[in-house]
Amino acid sequence: MSDYTLNAANELADLALAEQAASGDEKIVAAIGEVLGASSQTLQEAYLTAVRVRRAEARAHELLAASAAKRAG
């Protein structure tokens, strides 16, 4: 996969997740994935992977914060 594809996927994932957080629109991330898939399956796959990675990272940070709070409390 090209650097361009990965960079575009990462940027779109960041923008889509930020828009979801700002608007509360749970469907925006999926809608962008569908638009990408209609034109470029490669970009769609990279985008969906980038979204999953960011969501997994957020869950891991939440777990670590909860563990630290539990120890401190």
* 3-state SS, one letter per residue, for 16-38: HHHHHHHHCCCCHHHHHHHHHHH
Rounded to whole angstroms, the Cα distance separating 2 from 59 reads 28
pLDDT tens per residue, range 40-72: 999 999 999 999 999 999 999 999 999 999 999
Give the pLDDT score at 35. Answer: 98
DSSP state of 73: -
- Measured distance CA(8)–CA(55) in Å, rounded: 18
Q: What domain count does the chain have?
A: 1
| Confidence (pLDDT) at 29 | 98
List CB contacts of 16: < 8 A, sequence separation 6 or more.
Answer: 28, 29, 32, 47, 51
What does the pLDDT average to over 9-16?
Answer: 98
Mean residue pLDDT of the chain comes to 97
Domain containing residue 55? 3-72
